Copies of this chain bind each other. A is one copy, B any other.
Amino acid sequence: MKPSTPKGTRDFLPAVVRKRNYIFTTIRSVFEKFGYEAIETPAMENLETLTGKYGDEGDRLIFKILNRDQKLEKALSGIYDSPKFASGLGVVDRKAFESDLADGALRYDLTVPFARFVVQHQNELAFPFRRYQIQPVWRADRPQKGRYREFYQCDADVVGTDSLRCEVEYVQIFDEVFDKFGVPVEIRINNRKILSALATYIGAPDKLTALTVAIDKLDKQPLEDVMASLENQGFTGDSVQLLKGVLLESRSTEGRAFLDVLKQKFADIDEGQKGIEELGYIFEKVDQLGLKKAELVFDLSLARGLNYYTGAIFEVLPDTEAQVGSICGGGRYDDLTGIFGMPGMSGVGISFGADRIYDLLEAISGFPTDQTAGTELMFVNFGEREADFCHKLLGTLRSEGVRAELYPDSAKMKKQMKYANDKQIPFVAIVGANEIENNTITLKNMTTGEQDNLPVGDLVGKLRHV
């Protein structure tokens, strides 16, 4: 029996945990500077909280928790006692039986639990409520490179306000986070109202969903193929020709300029005017405030599949050689909590894809090289007397905040040095009879191989200023 983790899940070793924490800590610090506060929800939700929120495909990918004891008993006895069974007819109400097997499930994203949270705690929250949440989610997707069954989402949302300044601040948040990561990014923005106007413009106002799904595919499929598939879905030839024209024009026109073109085209479509006005406001404020490094770009072909978006939609792509696809997304919604009986709660939210950002930072060597965690100094253990001396010293060092350890056994020197090497400990202290007598230590820099004998009192200074 060779132990392993379940398919699509991962262990994280110390070096990887450190890098992941660098990502989370960076994002968290920016969220907090913008007034967002952390909440946490349980990994388990009631199954009924989740089902029906992610479409049929999503429902299928929810991990369910098997009921226990009496509940499981009840589910099973429902079968056992079925006269249909006894007579060999099989279970008729298969669906009901399966739903009896599980009442609970693992959360599938952070948005639905957040909606549930807002409704449940509405009297304890200050609205507009800004929250961030960095927690794992679970999806029974087929695992593949970069796609896991257990992965972290890093979400921020503000609910209870229509103010477009929230969108402006999300652009600033994207900008600041990726500035800290040293990653140049393009922040793409569109507006669901503009897509809706586009559907009207091409004479297919009732086919918005099919249109957005198709547009979403444009970065993976040739324009011709996407257009052909629309015709198959009942779009008229005229609609498709109009759409194709607009899309081609958008590709050959600079983003902001194309917003002006659309203003003319959608002259008679109120919703389109509204969407263009919203984006105009966001661009204007972002211009006033300035960005550190990111570029904000209008992109008509940005659609995002989620149906609950009603205003601005975002996507962030790295402007680097490394091809990792979209690393953030988000958008505005009119009604987050209606499904839980609290209508009219509008808001806007964004999400950072931690795994993709990890791969990206690996690819561009973007992780910081200075050590902010992990042992800084190891004492070699030569035996009880020396170990006693070092153990005492450890107390002083640790009280100064130095992360330090004593090799626990007086093993062979070679073994101890290999350990220090494997653990990438930058300094090793060697303390033998001579050093004890003179109250000094011999300090070895594991990177350069240099050795220094110095008074015990100089140790912290030396470690901190090298």
A residues sitting closer than 8 Å to B (CB atoms) are: 1-6, 9-14, 17-18, 21, 32-35, 37-46, 48-49, 60, 63-66, 68-69, 72, 76, 79-80, 85-88, 90-91, 94, 98, 101-104, 106, 116-117, 119-121, 124-128, 130-131, 136, 138, 140, 149-150, 158, 161-163, 165-166, 168, 172, 176, 285, 288-290, 340-341, 373-375, 378, 387-388, 391-392, 395, 398, 401-409, 418-419, 422-423
Q: A13-B39, A165-B387 are in contact. List 4 more A-B contacts (CB 8 A).
A: A35-B404, A79-B79, A127-B419, A288-B388
CB-nearest residue of chain B to A89: B86
Q: Is the CB of A6 within 8 A of B117?
A: no
A3 to B13, CA, bound (A): 37
Q: Is the CB of A42 within 8 A of B116?
A: no
- A6-B44, A44-B6, A120-B4 known; A39 and B12 CB under 8 Å? yes
Q: Is the CB of B419 within 8 A of A32?
A: no
Q: Is the CB of A1 within 8 A of B163?
A: no
Q: Which chain B positions have C-beta within 8 A of A21?
A: 38
- What is the minimal beta-carbon distance from A75 to any residue of chain B, in angstroms? 10
A378 to B128, CA, bound (A): 13
- A65-B66, A102-B66, A403-B32 known; A9 and B42 CB under 8 Å? yes
A153 to B126, CA, bound (A): 31
A21 to B168, CA, bound (A): 30
Q: Is the CB of A11 within 8 A of B121?
A: yes
Q: From B2, B3, B49, B374, give the contact of A3 (CB < 8 A).
A: B49
Q: Is the CB of A1 within 8 A of B33?
A: no
Q: Is the CB of B32 within 8 A of A17?
A: no
Q: Which 9 A-B pairs have the closest CB atoms?
A: A35-B405, A163-B408, A126-B422, A9-B42, A14-B37, A12-B40, A64-B66, A86-B88, A35-B375
Q: From B119, B125, B128, B406, give the contact of A165 (CB < 8 A).
A: B406
- A9-B42, A49-B3 known; A33 and B165 CB under 8 Å? no
A69 to B225, CA, bound (A): 32
- A63-B65, A86-B86 known; A165 and B408 CB under 8 Å? yes
